[in-house]
Amino acid sequence: MADFTMPALGADMESGKVVQWLVKPGDRVKPGDVVAVVETHKGAIDVECFLNGVIDDLAPLGESLQVGAVLARVQQAGEGDMVKEGPVARGPFASVRAKAAARVPKAGIAPPLPAAQPVSRPLRTRVSPAARHLAQTQGLNPDTLQGHGADGAVICADVERAIALAAAVPVTQSAAAVTAPRTRPSGFDPTQMRQAIAAAMARSKREIPHYYLEEAIDFGPATDWIEAFNRDRPPTERLLPAVLMLKAVAVALKAAPQLNGFCIDGRFEPVPDIHVGWAIALRGGGLVAPAIHHADRLGLPALMAALRDLVQRARAGGLRSSEMTDPTITVTNLGDRGAERVQGVIYPPQVAIVGFGRVVQRPWVVGQTLAMRPLVHCSLAADHRTSDGHLGSQLLAAIAQNLQQPDQL
C-alpha cells in the first residue's frame, strides 16, 4: 500500500482541502491521471496522481490538510514498492518529491483514513487537448459533455455536436443544461493570497542570497519578424512579443543549465527538462506562475497556443498540480502597460527568475549611426549559492542573441 499525499503546489502553500474527488475506491489510476480538485489560496487546482495502482481509501471532502498529509491510499502490484512506470514516477522530479515526503514526520503506522463521502461516478471525464481548446473558445465546459472517443473521452466531434445543438435548440432549461458550464469550486481569497505571497517572498529574500543583472536588448529584429509573421494570419494564429521572450529564455538555458533546477537543502539539483514558469496576474489580485512544459522544444505557434491556454485556465481556476510544482525557472513579462524595468524575487526552490519590462523607443547605436530603436530591458535575479555573475551574464547574452535571430527560435 502506498500513500498519495497532499502536494506542495508552490513554496507559499501550507495546506489545502479536497473539494472534489474524481475517483472512487476500486478505480485504477496511473501517473498523470487527475484524481482530485484541491482548493488552495490560489484557487482550485487539478491534482494529478503519481502512483500506479487501485484506489483503496480516500480522505474526506472539505477537511483542511497540511502539505504531506495522506490524501489517498493506493494498492500497488508490489506491496509498498513504487511502480516505476509513467512520466511522473521516473521523471527528474522524483528525487525532489521523495525528499519533500521524507520531511513529513511519521510516527509508526498511519491511522486509517476517515470514510470519504461516497462518489457515484467521476464528475469529469477525459477530454482531448484539441476538444478542450475548441470548447473553451465557444464558452462550453467540455467536462459536462458526453464523450464518444476511446474510453469515453470527449473529442472534437462531441464539442461540435454540442455547439450545433446549442445553435439549433431554443434556449430552454434543458438546452441550457447542455451549454452552461458547471460551477467550478474556487477558494480564491485575495487577502489570503497576498499574505501567502508576502510570506513566501519574505522567506526568499531572507534565505536566498540574490544577485541581480540587467541587459538592454534591441527588440527591433523581433518586432519586424513578428509583424511579418502575423501579416496574413487571423488573430487566433498571431504571435505576441511575449512568446519570443519566453522561447529566447528557454533556448538560452541550454547554454546555462546551472540556472535551470532547484536548490534543495542548500545544494543545486539540475533538471534536464526546461519547464518555464510564466507569471500570470489574476483578475482578483495576486499571481501564479505555472509551468509550460518543455518550452524549449515547442515551435513558436505551439508555444503561443500553450501560453494562451495556460493564462485562460489560470484565470478560470483550471490549473493542474504538475503545472504548479514543475517550473524550473520563472519568467515575468510586464507587457506594454508595465514598468520599463523589473527586478524579480526568486520563487524557491527555483534558483533564478528572468524579467522583461515593456518595450520602449530609445536612442541606440546601430553600426555608426544613432537611431531610435525599440528596446527591452531583460533582468536576472539568481541564487548566489548555486551560481555567480559570470554565468548569469552568459544567460543574458544568450537571451539577447536569440532575440536578434527570431527566425531561428
Domain co-membership, 140 together with 247: no
**CA dist 291 to 94, 117, 226, Å?**
17, 32, 24
The pLDDT tens digits of the residues spanning 236-267 come to: 899 999 999 999 999 999 999 999 999 988 89
Question: Above 60 in pLDDT, residue 370?
Answer: yes
Domain co-membership, 377 together with 280: yes
Q: Tell me the C-alpha distance between 127 and 149, whole Å.
A: 9
CATH assignment of the domain containing 360: 3.30.559.10
Q: Which residue range forms the structural domain that includes residue 83?
A: 2-102
Looking at 155, 179, 203, the residue that finishes a domain is 179
Write down the pLDDT at residue 185. Answer: 47
Instruction: List all residues 6 or more positions away from 198 whose beta carbon is below 8 Å from its beta carbon.
Output: none
Report percent pLDDT > 70 for the chain.
74
Number of domains in the chain: 3
Q: Strand, coil or helix: what is 330? A: strand
Residue with cell 547554454: 255
Asked if residue 121 belongs to a domain, the reply is no
Of the pLDDT bands very low, low, confident and very high (cuts 50, 70, 90), residue 317 is confident
Write down the pLDDT at residue 158. Answer: 65
Instruction: List all residues 6 or more positions away from 118 whose beta carbon is below 8 Å from its beta carbon.
Output: 24
Of the pLDDT bands very low, low, confident and very high (cuts 50, 70, 90), residue 8 is confident
Domain co-membership, 213 together with 140: no
Domain co-membership, 218 together with 266: yes
**CA dist 126 to 171, 295, 392, Å?**
27, 24, 42
Q: Tell me the C-alpha distance between 238 and 62, whole Å.
A: 43
| Residue 37 and residue 47 in contact, taking contact as beta carbons nearer than 8 Å | yes
Q: Give the lowest-confidence range in 114-118, 190-194, 207-211, 344-348.
A: 114-118
Looking at every residue in the chain, the average pLDDT score rounds to: 80
Domain co-membership, 269 together with 395: yes
- Of the two residues 107 and 130, the one the predictor is more confident about is 130
Domain co-membership, 279 together with 301: yes
Q: Strand, coil or helix: what is 142? A: helix
Q: Determine how β-strand 319-320 pairs with β-strand 43-48.
A: parallel
Q: Is the peptide bond before 349 cis (omega within 30 degrees of 0)?
A: yes
Write down the pLDDT at residue 168. Answer: 43
Asked if residue 108 belongs to a domain, the reply is no
Write down the pLDDT at residue 241. Answer: 95
Cell numbers describing residue 67 = 502539505
CATH assignment of the domain containing 172: 4.10.320
| Residue 290 and residue 16 in contact, taking contact as beta carbons nearer than 8 Å | no
Cell numbers describing residue 349 = 526552490
Element (H, E) at 354: strand 352-356
- Of the two residues 151 and 230, the one the predictor is more confident about is 230
Q: What is the mean pLDDT of residues 317-323?
A: 86
Domain co-membership, 92 together with 170: no
Asked if residue 46 belongs to a domain, the reply is yes
Domain co-membership, 167 together with 74: no
Asked if residue 122 belongs to a domain, the reply is no
Question: Above 50 in pLDDT, residue 333?
Answer: yes
Number of neighbours of residue 361 by Cβ within 10 angstroms:
9
Domain co-membership, 246 together with 343: yes
The pLDDT tens digits of the residues spanning 57-98 come to: 899 888 888 888 999 999 986 554 444 443 333 343 344 334
The pLDDT tens digits of the residues spanning 141-159 come to: 777 776 655 456 666 666 7
- Of the two residues 276 and 109, the one the predictor is more confident about is 276
Asked if residue 198 belongs to a domain, the reply is yes
CA-wise closest residue to 292 among 304, 281, 284: 304
CATH assignment of the domain containing 70: 2.40.50.100
CA-wise closest residue to 344 among 357, 334, 353: 353
Residue 406: phi and psi, rounded to 5, are: -60, -30
Element (H, E) at 387: none
Of the pLDDT bands very low, low, confident and very high (cuts 50, 70, 90), residue 129 is low
Burial class, 54, CB count within 10 angstroms (exposed 0-12 / middle 13-18 / buried 19+): middle
Write down the pLDDT at residue 173. Answer: 33
Q: Tell me the C-alpha distance between 23 and 293, whole Å.
A: 26
Q: Which range in 37-46, 75-84, 183-192, 320-329 is most confidently predicted, on average pLDDT?
A: 320-329
Write down the pLDDT at residue 87. Answer: 38
Question: Above 80 in pLDDT, residue 163?
Answer: no
Domain co-membership, 264 together with 354: yes
Asked if residue 107 belongs to a domain, the reply is no
The pLDDT tens digits of the residues spanning 20-64 come to: 899 999 999 988 888 988 888 767 788 998 888 999 889 988 888
Q: Give the lowest-confidence range in 6-20, 185-199, 254-268, 378-392.
A: 185-199
Of the pLDDT bands very low, low, confident and very high (cuts 50, 70, 90), residue 397 is very high
Domain co-membership, 328 together with 244: yes
| Residue 341 and residue 379 in contact, taking contact as beta carbons nearer than 8 Å | yes
Q: Tell me the C-alpha distance between 327 and 9, whole Å.
A: 11
Asked if residue 378 belongs to a domain, the reply is yes
Report percent pLDDT > 90 for the chain.
45
Of the pLDDT bands very low, low, confident and very high (cuts 50, 70, 90), residue 311 is very high
Domain co-membership, 23 together with 147: no
- Of the two residues 82 and 196, the one the predictor is more confident about is 196
Asked if residue 261 belongs to a domain, the reply is yes
CA 260 to chain centre: 16
